[in-house]
A and B are shown apart, each in its own frame.
Chain A
Amino acid sequence: MDLKPGSRWKSAVCDAQMVVVRPPKAAGELQCGGAPVVPIDDAAPPTGVIEPEFAEGVLIGKRYLDEDSGLEVLGAKAGKGSLAFNGTAMKIKGAKPLPASD
């Protein structure tokens, strides 16, 4: 899976969609709800089978980070599965929004 910046993916198990903001330093697998994500244009509908340990959900507009690899992903659509990289749960990146300036 080529997790290059700007690439779009969706969950194989729920409605979540994501965009890669920063690529991982080493290749690996982005997962949602415990299953590998699929390219955004994949035609298969989500299976609905979400592993309980990866069921905290993806929120729209939130950024998710895998600290070890540097992989950063934006939640572009919400879903019930949660994100992981090579089986390690990704964390929400806490960032205070800035005021609009233009």
Chain B
Amino acid sequence: MHTPLLLDIAADACADRVALGSRDGGCDFDSYRARATQVASWLIKQGKANTAFLGMNGNILPVLLFASGMAGTPFVPLNYRLADTDLNKLVQRTAPAVLVVDDEMAHRIVPTEGIKLILRSEFEATFMAGDRPEKVDIPESENDIAVLLFTSGTTGEPKAAVLRHANLTSYVMSTVEFLGAGEDEAALVCVPSYHIAGISAILTAAYGGRRIVYLPAFTAEDWVATAAAEGITHAMVVPTMLDRILDVMEKTGETLPELRALSYGGGKMPEPVIARALAMLPHVAFVNAYGLTETSSTISLLGADDHRAAFASDDPKVRRRIASVGQPLPTIELEIRRDDGTACEPGEQGEIHVRGEQVSGEYLHKKAIADDGWFATNDAGWLDDGGYLFVDGRLDDVIVRGGENISPGEIEDLLRSFDDIADCAVLGIPCDEWGEKVVAVIVSRSGQPDTDSISAAIRAKLRSTKTPEQWFHREELPYNETGKLLRRVLKAELVKATEQD
């Protein structure tokens, strides 16, 4: 099954419903599909293997995604935050391709063989302006690859994750009810197009019949103003965004009465932030979602009832589930495994493995999925007695101190419980005695953190091997735009700093 089918059946069933943009004057489903078919027909004429996009969010993005699927050219959104040299390397790897590029970014692309550049302004004038064009009939393509997403690349060159039409449609159809959204529902999308959530948001909204409103790029002020003006009912944010959104709401007095559901993911949400959000937005259902590019987005989620139950509970086991990512989707099999491949007991940390139709576990020219369909996520985690999943971060981030595996997450959670600690990161850096030693980087509110008493508290609660041996102070920690802490950047700085000591 191919992704354009999702738009096709929605456009047949609710042609007049607004699909993209403002509730007055936005693009309806019929026009959305017609424009995508026009673009697809043009893409086919260009004869390029791929369709790439470099630019800010906007209505051309979903039109391009569906058009690429119709034309049988994998859609390749590129990360505009990359340095020019890295960006051009990816452009080269995408060739031969049509590349639609924001006018302001075009100068960054060096002329490359096989790349046909088209400016966004030109594309918009041709395909997005004016009345609804004629729908072109395009036979379903043979190409079963829908999207190529370059992953951030923990080591070496970025990998091109392959998402097949079957992965994506399976994800959408198993998690969303067809036309399940009311006509008044609208989703505000602020994650960039080169992030898996930016892709899945388009597909789930089309199939669910929910209008999409784009923020070209995230600022908390724009987010709150747009959410209020556009009657936004649903949105997905990353943790760093939520804190800033709440700040703006507090300042402006905006209460967002129409907002119904807010999902978050893409990084660890500090408990004080979610507690504040629940208090400020009592009418909103919160959902914590966990997923990876290689799994076509969400594989596990903590729903609104779970949030309320956790916060209301006196039982520490239930209470701590607020920090979990809930339970796996019914269509996903999930196991925690030890290094030797055997299954972990509840409460025991291991590597998260998943299996299901939405799991691609595949990169261009390299399959990363086992023959029996299981995919090793490279994330460390554990399940509690009730089957709630706790994610401890990338396996690569686990600190190995004298043969003992130490998860930064557990120590960071404890550090965040101190009022004076605004933000923190725990890392392992090379040390002669233990292989790695535990160090903490903290952002102190007072500027004079009492690390002695914090150390004592950690020693009492966890154990001495988990107590940071060295403390670093920062004004702020480095994050990427989707809220992921840049541990490698931080670690490299610390290693350099300690070597100079």
Contact = CB atoms under 8 A, between A and B. Distances in A.
B285 interface: yes
Nearest to A5: B1
A76 B13 contact: yes
A16 B1 CA distance: 20
A8 B13 CA distance: 13
Nearest to B198: A102
Contacts of A99: 261, 263, 285, 287, 301, 303-304
B180 A61 contact: yes
Interface string B244-270: 000000000000000001010100000
Contacts of B301: 98-99, 101
B173 interface: yes
Nearest to B196: A102
Contacts of A101: 175, 236, 263, 265, 287, 289, 291, 297-298, 301
B329 interface: yes
B437 interface: no
Interface string A75-99: 1110000000000000000010111
B352 interface: no
A21 B179 CA distance: 16
Interface residues of A, number: 19
Nearest to A4: B1
Contacts of B201: 102
Interface in B113-146: 140
A98 B330 CA distance: 10
Interface string B164-177: 00000100010111
Judged by DSSP, the binding face of A is loop
A19 interface: yes
Contacts of A46: none
A102 B236 contact: yes
Contacts of B23: none
Interface string A59-75: 01100000000000011
Contacts of A75: 178
Nearest to A76: B9
A3 B289 CA distance: 34
Contacts of B1: 5-6, 21
A45 B133 CA distance: 27
Contacts of A8: 5, 8-9
A21 to B, nearest CB: 6
Contact of A100 (B12, B173, B178, B261): B261
B178 A61 contact: yes
A17 interface: yes
Contacts of A76: 9, 12-13, 178
B173 A98 contact: no
B286 to A, nearest CB: 9
B200 interface: yes
B401 interface: no
B187 interface: yes
A79 to B, nearest CB: 12
Interface in A1-58: 5-6, 8, 17, 19, 21
B321 interface: no
A102 B12 contact: no
B159 interface: no
B261 A74 contact: no
Given A61-B178, A98-B301, A77 B13 contact: yes
Most buried by A among B1, B8, B303, B330: B1
A20 B281 CA distance: 40
B49 to A, nearest CB: 23
Interface string B293-318: 00001100101100000000000000
B2 interface: yes
B204 interface: yes
Contact of B178 (A6, A74, A98, A102): A74
Given A60-B13, A77-B12, A100 B303 contact: no
A71 B261 CA distance: 33
Given A8-B8, A101-B265, A102-B297, 10 more contacts: A17-B12, A21-B1, A60-B179, A74-B173, A98-B175, A100-B176, A101-B263, A101-B287, A101-B301, A102-B197
21 contacts: A6-B5, A8-B9, A19-B5, A21-B1, A61-B177, A61-B178, A61-B180, A74-B178, A76-B178, A77-B13, A97-B177, A98-B176, A99-B263, A100-B208, A100-B261, A100-B263, A101-B289, A101-B297, A101-B298, A101-B301, A102-B200
Q: What are the 4 A-B residue pairs with the smallest beta carbon separation, nearest first?
A: A6-B1, A101-B289, A61-B178, A101-B298
